[in-house]
Structure 1
Amino acid sequence: MARGPSGAGPDSLARSRSPRLCRPLTSSSGKASPPMLRSLARARLPSRRQSPNQSPEQRCAKLPPWRSLMQPNADPIVLRPGEGQKIDLGNFEMSVLVTGSETGGVFSLLEAAEPPNFGPPLHIHHDCAEAFYVLEGEYQIFIEGAAHRCPAGSFILIPSGLRHGFRVGAMPSRKLNLYAPAEMIGYFRDLSKAIKGGDADPDRLTDIARRHGMEVVGPVPEGYL
Structure 2
Amino acid sequence: MTDGLVIPPGAGRKFVTKAQEVTFKVTGDHSRTGSLFEVVVPPGFDVGAHVHTRTEEIFYVLDGELELLAFEPDERTPEDWRSWRGSDGRRPVRAGPGSCMFVPAGCPHAFTNPHDTPARMLFLSAPPPDHEAYFEELLEMFDSGTANVDAVINLREKYDIQQITPLRFDAAES
Same-fold status (TM-score > 0.5): yes
Aligned pairs for 1:53-202 within 5 A: 74-104=2-32, 106-143=33-70, 144=72, 145=84, 146-170=91-115, 171-182=117-128, 183-202=130-149
- CA deviation profile, 1:20-69 (whole Å, cap 9, x unmatched): xxxxxxxxxxxxxxxxxxxxxxxxxxxxxxxxxxxxxxxxxxxxxxxxxx
Which secondary structure state, in structure 1, belongs to the residue aligned with residue 46 of structure 2? coil
Aligned to 1:203: 150
Q: In 1, distance between residues paired with 2:97 and 2:114?
A: 11
CA RMSD of aligned residues (A): 1.9
Contact 2:68 2:112 in 1 (8 A): yes
The residue type paired with residue 200 of structure 1 is A
Any stretches of 5+ residues in structure 1 without a counterpart? 1-72
Q: In 1, distance between residues paired with 2:161 and 2:121?
A: 20
Q: In 2, distance between residues paired with 1:133 and 1:222?
A: 20
Q: In 2, distance between residues paired with 1:189 and 1:75?
A: 26
Q: In 1, distance between residues paired with 2:163 and 2:12?
A: 27
Going from structure 1 to structure 2, the CA distance change for 1:131 and 1:201 (only over 3 Å counts) comes to same
Q: CA deviation at 1:116?
A: 2.6
Q: In 2, distance between residues paired with 1:116 and 1:193?
A: 20
Q: CA deviation at 1:98?
A: 0.4
Q: CA deviation at 1:198?
A: 2.2
Q: In 1, distance between residues paired with 2:45 and 2:140?
A: 20
The residue type paired with residue 97 of structure 1 is K
**Displacement over 4 Å in runs of 4+:** none
Q: CA deviation at 1:87?
A: 1.6
Q: CA deviation at 1:156?
A: 0.8
- CA deviation profile, 1:101-149 (whole Å, cap 9, x unmatched): 2102x10000011223322122112221111111111111022333022
Structure 1 or 2, whichever has the larger Rg, is: 1
Contact 1:137 1:169 in 2 (8 A): no
Which secondary structure state, in structure 2, belongs to the residue aligned with residue 131 of structure 1? strand
Q: In 2, distance between residues paired with 1:174 and 1:152?
A: 9
Higher relative contact order (CA 8 A, sep 6+): 2
Q: In 2, distance between residues paired with 1:203 and 1:99?
A: 28
Q: CA deviation at 1:222?
A: 4.8
The percentage of counterpart residues that share the same residue type is 30
Aligned to 1:29: none
Normalised by the length of structure 1, the TM-score is 0.63
Going from structure 1 to structure 2, the CA distance change for 1:204 and 1:117 (only over 3 Å counts) comes to closer
